[in-house]
Structure 1
Amino acid sequence: MVTDYGQGYATRSEPRHRLPAGLRAPFAARSRREFGYVLLSLPVATVLFSWTVTMVALGAGLLVTFLGIPVLAAALAGCRGFGVLERARARGLLGLEVADPEPLRLRKPGAAAWMGAMLKSGASWRHVLYALVQFPWAVFSFSVAVTFWACGWGLLSYPLWFWVFPAYAGEGGIQLYGDAHHSVYLDNPFEITVTALIGLVFTLATPWLVRALTTVDGLLVRGLLGPSPLSARVVELESDRGIVVDTAAADLRRIERDLHDGAQARLVNLAMDLGLAKEKLREDPRTAARMVEEAHGEVKTALQELRDLARGIHPAVLTDRGLDAALSAVASRCTVPVRVEVDLPARPAPAIEGIAYFTVSELLQNISKHSGARSASVDVWRSEDRLMLQVTDDGVGGADASRGSGLAGLAARLDAVDGILMVDSPAGGPTRVIAELPWRG
Structure 2
Amino acid sequence: MEYGESTYDTHGPSGSHGGYGGYGTGAYDGHRGYGPGDSRRHRLPAALRAPFEGRSWREFAYLLLNLPIGVLLFTYAVTMVALGAGLLVTFLGIPVLAAALAGCRGLGAMERARARALLGLEVADPEPLRVRKGGLMGWMGAVLKSGTSWRHLLYAVLHFPWAVFSFVVALNVWAYGWALLTYPLWFWLFPVYGGQGGLQLYGDEQHSIYLDNPFEITVTALVGLLFTLATPWIVRALTMVDRLLVHGLLGPSRLASRVVELESDRGVVVDTAAADLRRIERDLHDGAQARLVSLAMDLGLAKEKLREDPQVAARMVDEAHGEVKTALQELRDLARGIHPAVLTDRGLDAALSSVASRCTVPVRVDVDLASRPAPAIEGIAYFTVSELLQNVSKHSGARSASVDVWRSEDRLMLQVVDDGVGGASASGGSGLAGLAERLDAVDGILVVDSPAGGPTRVTAELPWRG
Classify the TM-score, shorter chain: over 0.9
Q: 1:195 aligns with which of 195, 211, 220?
A: 220
Aligned: 1:236 with 2:252: no
- Rounded Cα–Cα distance in structure 2 between residues aligned with 1:130 and 1:78: 12
Native 8 Å contact 1:400 1:423 kept in 2: yes
- Rounded Cα–Cα distance in structure 1 between residues aligned with 2:188 and 2:216: 14
**1:206 partner letter:** T
- Report the 3-state secondary structure (helix = DSSP H, G, I; strand = E; otherwise coil) of the residue aligned with 1:108: coil
- Report the 3-state secondary structure (helix = DSSP H, G, I; strand = E; otherwise coil) of the residue aligned with 1:396: coil
Q: 1:131 aligns with which of 156, 163, 179?
A: 156
**1:333 partner letter:** R
- Rounded Cα–Cα distance in structure 2 between residues aligned with 1:4 and 1:408: 14
Q: Residue 340 of structure 1 aligns with which residue?
A: 365
**2:7 partner letter:** Y
Q: CA deviation at 1:187?
A: 2.5
How many residue pairs end up in the alignment? 439
- Rounded Cα–Cα distance in structure 1 between residues aligned with 2:272 and 2:51: 54
**Greater percentage in helix:** 1
Q: CA deviation at 1:314?
A: 0.6
- Report the 3-state secondary structure (helix = DSSP H, G, I; strand = E; otherwise coil) of the residue aligned with 2:379: helix
**2:444 partner letter:** G
Q: Residue 142 of structure 2 aligns with which residue?
A: 117
- Rounded Cα–Cα distance in structure 1 between residues aligned with 2:267 and 2:6: 24
- Rounded Cα–Cα distance in structure 1 between residues aligned with 2:208 and 2:382: 85
Q: CA deviation at 1:119?
A: 1.0
Native 8 Å contact 1:423 1:434 kept in 2: yes
Q: Residue 5 of structure 1 aligns with which residue?
A: 7
Q: CA deviation at 1:44?
A: 1.3
- Rounded Cα–Cα distance in structure 2 between residues aligned with 1:396 and 1:9: 22
Q: 1:392 aligns with which of 398, 417, 424?
A: 417
Q: Residue 90 of structure 1 aligns with which residue?
A: 115
Q: 1:351 aligns with which of 376, 398, 404?
A: 376
**1:137 partner letter:** W
- Rounded Cα–Cα distance in structure 2 between residues aligned with 1:4 and 1:122: 41
**2:94 partner letter:** I
- Rounded Cα–Cα distance in structure 1 between residues aligned with 2:358 and 2:40: 50
Native 8 Å contact 2:112 2:246 kept in 1: yes
Q: Residue 407 of structure 1 aligns with which residue?
A: 432
Q: 2:441 aligns with which of 405, 416, 419?
A: 416
Q: CA deviation at 1:354?
A: 0.6
Q: Residue 311 of structure 1 aligns with which residue?
A: 336
CA deviations on 1:102-130 (whole Å, 9 max, x unpaired) are 11122233222221111111111111111
Q: CA separation of 1:27/1:258 partners in 2, compared to 1, >3 Å: closer, same or farther?
A: same
Q: Residue 432 of structure 1 aligns with which residue?
A: 457
- Report the 3-state secondary structure (helix = DSSP H, G, I; strand = E; otherwise coil) of the residue aligned with 1:19: coil
CA deviations on 1:263-322 (whole Å, 9 max, x unpaired) are 111112211221222122112212211111111111111111110111011111111111
Q: Mark the runs of 5 or more structure 1 residues left unpaired by the alignment.
A: none
Native 8 Å contact 1:5 1:422 kept in 2: no
Native 8 Å contact 1:397 1:425 kept in 2: yes
Q: CA separation of 1:366/1:181 partners in 2, compared to 1, >3 Å: closer, same or farther?
A: closer
Aligned: 1:148 with 2:164: no
Q: CA deviation at 1:4?
A: 5.2
- Rounded Cα–Cα distance in structure 2 between residues aligned with 1:10 and 1:229: 26
Q: Residue 278 of structure 2 aligns with which residue?
A: 253
Q: Residue 54 of structure 1 aligns with which residue?
A: 79
Q: 1:74 aligns with which of 99, 121, 125?
A: 99
Native 8 Å contact 2:6 2:451 kept in 1: no
For structure 1, which segment, 181-190 or 45-54, has the greater mean C-alpha deviation from structure 2 after superposition? 181-190
- Rounded Cα–Cα distance in structure 2 between residues aligned with 1:300 and 1:164: 104
Native 8 Å contact 2:417 2:457 kept in 1: yes
Q: 2:41 aligns with which of 16, 26, 43?
A: 16
Q: Mark the runs of 5 or more structure 2 residues left unpaired by the alignment.
A: 9-22, 28-36
Q: TM-score, normalising length from structure 1? A: 0.95
Aligned: 1:223 with 2:248: yes
Q: CA deviation at 1:166?
A: 2.2
Q: CA separation of 1:4/1:65 partners in 2, compared to 1, >3 Å: closer, same or farther?
A: farther
Native 8 Å contact 2:288 2:330 kept in 1: yes
Q: TM-score, normalising length from structure 2? A: 0.90
- Rounded Cα–Cα distance in structure 1 between residues aligned with 2:39 and 2:340: 51
**2:124 partner letter:** A
**2:304 partner letter:** E
- Rounded Cα–Cα distance in structure 1 between residues aligned with 2:442 and 2:162: 41
Q: 1:325 aligns with which of 350, 359, 371?
A: 350
- Rounded Cα–Cα distance in structure 1 between residues aligned with 2:408 and 2:269: 25
- Rounded Cα–Cα distance in structure 2 between residues aligned with 1:104 and 1:10: 36
Q: CA deviation at 1:392?
A: 1.1
- Rounded Cα–Cα distance in structure 2 between residues aligned with 1:10 and 1:94: 19
Q: 2:402 aligns with which of 347, 370, 377?
A: 377
Q: Residue 322 of structure 2 aligns with which residue?
A: 297
Q: CA deviation at 1:223?
A: 0.8
**1:218 partner letter:** R
Q: CA deviation at 1:173?
A: 2.5
- Rounded Cα–Cα distance in structure 2 between residues aligned with 1:27 and 1:207: 9
Native 8 Å contact 1:397 1:427 kept in 2: yes
Q: Residue 12 of structure 2 aligns with which residue?
A: none
Native 8 Å contact 1:342 1:381 kept in 2: yes
Structure 1 vs Structure 2 CA RMSD: 1.8
Q: CA separation of 1:195/1:309 partners in 2, compared to 1, >3 Å: closer, same or farther?
A: same
Native 8 Å contact 1:4 1:422 kept in 2: no
- Report the 3-state secondary structure (helix = DSSP H, G, I; strand = E; otherwise coil) of the residue aligned with 2:417: strand
